[in-house]
Amino acid sequence: GIQVEQSPPDLILQEGANSTLRCNFSDSVNNLQWFHQNPWGQLINLFYIPSGTKQNGRLSATTVATERYSLLYISSSQTTDSGVYFCAVALQGGSEKLVFGKGTKLTVNP
């Protein structure tokens, strides 16, 4: 099956710093989503981005489908950004399965 690898696995930042999270996937995909799992466990949709670039406030994401990777940028990080960030993909031509990476755990210190 498709492999989804996220890096780094852990990231510690000071408030105000910028960061880049990466998601590599092993095959062509029809669907790619970024989620934020907050400290209470809730999975929050950040971006649906199978290709191209999107921005939402301090967050932006870019997916280069031909090179099989996606990047999530967090600028001017805040303590509320802490949590785990997941990338999830659905294989092109495959079944309706959204496969998750293992996530990047982000800790933003005040």
Q: Of 12-20, 30-38, 63-71, 75-83, which part binds another protein (CB under 8 A)? A: 30-38
- Binding characters for another protein, 44-83, by CB under 8 A (x = yes): -x--x-x---------------------------------
For residue 2, the number of C-alpha atoms closer than 13 Å in the C-beta half-sphere is 28
The first and second tokens of residue 93, run together, are: 């031509």
What's the CA dihedral at 8, 11, 16, 22 to 10 degrees? Answer: 10
> At closest approach, how far in Å is the CB of 11 from another protein?
17
Specify whether the CB–CB gap between 78 and 68 falls below 8 A. Answer: no
Binding residues for another protein (CB under 8 A): 30-31, 33, 35, 41-43, 45, 48, 50, 86, 88, 90-103
